[in-house]
Amino acid sequence: MNALMNALPLVFADPDQILLYRQQGGDTRAITARQFMVDAEALAVDLTTGPGAQQFIINLCQDRYRFLVGFAATILAGKTNLLPSTFTGETLRQIFIDTPDALCLHDHDDWPFPYPHFSLAHLSLARLSLANRCHREPSPDGLGESGQIKPEHVVAQVFTSGSTGLPMPHNKTWGKLVRNVEAALQQLGISSPVSLVGTVPPQHMFGFESLVLLCLIGRCPLWSGKPFYPADIVAALDAMPEPRMLVTTPFHLQALLDAQIALPRIDRLLLATAPLSVELAERAECVTGAPLYEIYGSTETGQIANRRPTQSTAWTLFPGITLTKAHPDENDELYIANGEHIEAPVMLSDRIHLRADGQFDLLGRVADQVNMAGKRSSLNYLTAQIKAIDGITDGVFFLPEPKKNQAGKNRAGKDQVITRLCAVVVAPGLNAADILAALRDRLDPVFLPRPLILVESLPYNATGKLPQIALQAILDQHLAALAPKDQTSWRIPADHPVFAGHFPGHPLVPGALLLDWVVERVAAYWQVSSLGLRIEQAKFAHPVLPDARVTLDLQAEADRCRFTLKVHTGETNPVAVSGMLGRQPNDAAGDTESKRA
């Protein structure tokens, strides 16, 4: 009884209040909180009595209503939702390594993955009747009375986006999430329900808080569709009653405004997930007539601050959230966030300037800082510079993941790491040489990208972010395309003039001639001038005689190329020369790397 008294509702809306709107055929159907709970409780029974004993449910549903039903059913069954913000085979593989007994809940027609799954794709929700039920007692924390949830129950593990590496899970308890949403409603001045249309996946922390939780806790009716294109967003807004709030990202907002189509009335814009320029915010408020608010937070902390960028660059903390210096140094820009709905103190990933009035300014990501040849810059600044070049429609700088050679170590026995910056650019009508020439007017040469890769579009995910793994894949594909596909061979004729003086009576191919040929071949594969290459290492192991045929194998990376030169003697093919070539630090090697990925 005491536990029930301390419990919190799963759905805060009155039973007959409309919770969601769904497209059904050509009509829009309203679903009440009562109908929603019928569906959630029916699915919860299946999750507690079905085959297996999965404690973790990976909720991959794209339709917002199916996601909400799966989310609520998982909680009612006393289980935990796993919410990966990206849906790929690699993401699932990583999750199942850590939680091998998980079950995937999805609404896809096809399921190409070798993992246990349960599909809601063809279920008629609001009159849910699932088959194949096994008789088994519910778990101790099973169906709650009247949908009451213990505050300490871990209802979800939300995963980071993967924009800086592998996605990582973070526990979210129901009590803290309720406090999170209550603080957001107060901070954003939402005193009565507002209709929600969102382009952000419900699995992403921003979409989870500002769509799923605002619906369940904030009593705000939600559009169940997954609008992405401008026409879809307009249709969804038009189907929802006023007042309306569009929850979106800078990427989707830019596309919506660029489409120049008539917009229904929007009463509020709420954005997060990526840097938002003041220019875009001003344009959005001018076109829509709606105030635009921006949310600051992370998967680890949840939302902790907001601002209206057209009025102030400073961020205002949510009630009860505190920032304390991570180190006693008064010039330190690293802060720890704590208080209210934050599950545990979190070191912020951004550098902070805390104002005397408690507001703060963002100075850039900690991981955004780059140090090249003793000089510092930031990836955000470098990206802004490349985007400012006429003719470039999109682009991004990034630092590749450390790479090791085949042996895993370099010549000194240490890990060999690629530290050159890369840039991926969308620039119809421009070539890499044009772009690099423009960058030289803006950047120190040490920050010029090598390589610079031209693509048709950047690999944004559903939240408008560019995952590191997707950018790395573009780079890997680019380097693979530049690498030699076949061996290169050369027969050195006996009448070659070099033998006249090397050596009379005992002719040998000079090592310098062999190295000159290697340099020219590497320059050809990299499509650069041979003057910009340097020989870092060369080991001569076997003489090369007149009329010999030699073959060259290359293993090319971003700035280095390992070579092996073998001589064909008829029976064996001994290595004549092996070594490493590199590009000069200030070489314009990237100028001709204009292949499109």
Domain with residue 408: its CATH number is: 3.30.300.30
Count H helices, E strands: the chain? Answer: 14, 32
Question: Do 320 and 396 have their domain in common?
Answer: no
- Which structure tokens are listed for 132? 């194949």
Q: Mean of the pLDDT values across residues 357-382? A: 80
Look at the chain and report how many structural domains it folds into: 3
Question: Do 122 and 216 have their domain in common?
Answer: yes
- What phi-psi label fits residue 219: left (phi over 0), alpha (psi between -120 and 50 degrees) or beta? left
pLDDT at residue 135, as a whole number? 35
Dihedral angle at the C-alpha atoms of 260, 261, 264, 269, nearest 10 degrees? Answer: -30
Contact call for residues 227 and 201 (beta carbons, < 8 A): no
Domain-ending residue, one of 440, 461, 480: 480
pLDDT at 88 over 80: no
> Would you say residue 372 lies in a domain?
no
> Would you say residue 238 lies in a domain?
yes
Q: What is the pLDDT of residues 266-301, one digit of tens each?
A: 999 999 987 788 999 999 999 999 999 999 999 999
- Which structure tokens are listed for 354? 């805390």
Q: Report which of residues 343 and 126 the model is more confident about.
A: 343
pLDDT at residue 408, as a whole number? 39
Domain-ending residue, one of 317, 334, 364: 364
Q: What is the pLDDT of residues 213-265, one digit of tens each?
A: 999 999 999 999 999 899 999 999 999 999 999 999 998 999 999 999 999 99
DSSP letter string, 161-209:
--TTSS--EEEEEHHHHHHHHHHHHHHHT--S--EEEE-S-TTSHHHII
Q: Mean of the pLDDT values across residues 151-168? A: 82
Q: Mean of the pLDDT values across residues 183-208? A: 95
Mean pLDDT over each residue of the chain, to the nearest integer? 85
Helix (H, G, I), strand (E, B) or coil at 70: helix
> Would you say residue 369 lies in a domain?
no
Percent of the chain with pLDDT over 70: 86
Q: Name 491's Cβ contacts closer than 8 Å, sequence gap at least 6.
A: 547, 548, 549, 550
- Phi, psi (5° rounding) for residue 376? -110, 145
Question: Do 284 and 386 have their domain in common?
Answer: no
Contact call for residues 198 and 245 (beta carbons, < 8 A): no
pLDDT at residue 140, as a whole number? 38
Q: Report which of residues 373 and 64 the model is more confident about.
A: 64
Percent of the chain with pLDDT over 90: 55
User: Using 50, 70 and 90 to split pLDDT, how confident is the model at 409?
Assistant: very low
Question: Do 449 and 431 have their domain in common?
Answer: yes
- Phi, psi (5° rounding) for residue 471? -65, -40
CATH of the domain at 249: 3.40.50.12780
Question: Do 200 and 341 have their domain in common?
Answer: yes
Question: Do 587 and 506 have their domain in common?
Answer: yes
Q: What is the pLDDT of residues 486-503, one digit of tens each?
A: 557 888 887 776 776 677
pLDDT at residue 482, as a whole number? 64
User: To 10 degrees, what angle do helices 64-76 and 33-49 make?
Assistant: 60
Count of CB atoms within 10 A of residue 568's CB? Answer: 14
CATH of the domain at 556: 3.10.129.10
pTM greater than 0.85: no
> Would you say residue 212 lies in a domain?
yes
pLDDT at residue 447, as a whole number? 86
> Would you say residue 188 lies in a domain?
yes
Cα 504–chain centre separation? 65
User: Using 50, 70 and 90 to split pLDDT, how confident is the model at 410?
Assistant: very low
In sign, the C-alpha dihedral spanning 201, 203, 208, 212 is positive
- Which structure tokens are listed for 597? 């990925």
pLDDT at 414 over 80: no
Closest CA to 365 of 270, 274, 452, 443: 274
Question: Do 494 and 469 have their domain in common?
Answer: no
Q: Mean of the pLDDT values across residues 330-337? A: 84
Question: Do 472 and 502 have their domain in common?
Answer: no
> Would you say residue 115 lies in a domain?
yes
Dihedral angle at the C-alpha atoms of 493, 495, 499, 503, nearest 10 degrees? Answer: 110
Domain-ending residue, one of 364, 398, 422: 364
CA–CA distances in Å: residue 254 to residues 23, 165, 259, 311, 396: 26, 26, 9, 20, 17
Question: Do 356 and 382 have their domain in common?
Answer: no
Question: Do 521 and 469 have their domain in common?
Answer: no
pLDDT at residue 372, as a whole number? 72
> Would you say residue 583 lies in a domain?
yes
Question: Do 315 and 414 have their domain in common?
Answer: no
Q: What is the pLDDT of residues 436-487, one digit of tens each?
A: 989 988 888 878 888 899 999 999 887 788 888 899 889 888 877 765 555 5
Question: Do 473 and 500 have their domain in common?
Answer: no
- What phi-psi label fits residue 256: left (phi over 0), alpha (psi between -120 and 50 degrees) or beta? alpha
Q: What is the pLDDT of residues 21-53, one digit of tens each?
A: 998 878 899 999 999 999 999 999 888 876 556
Q: Mean of the pLDDT values across residues 507-518? A: 88
pLDDT at residue 404, as a whole number? 44
Q: Mean of the pLDDT values across residues 58-76? A: 96
> Would you say residue 387 lies in a domain?
yes
Q: Mean of the pLDDT values across residues 578-585? A: 82
Q: What is the pLDDT of residues 91-111, one digit of tens each?
A: 898 899 999 999 999 998 889
Q: Mean of the pLDDT values across residues 128-143? A: 38
pLDDT at residue 585, as a whole number? 52
In sign, the C-alpha dihedral spanning 151, 157, 160, 161 is negative
Count of CB atoms within 10 A of residue 204's CB? Answer: 29
The parent domain of residue 83 ranges over 2-364
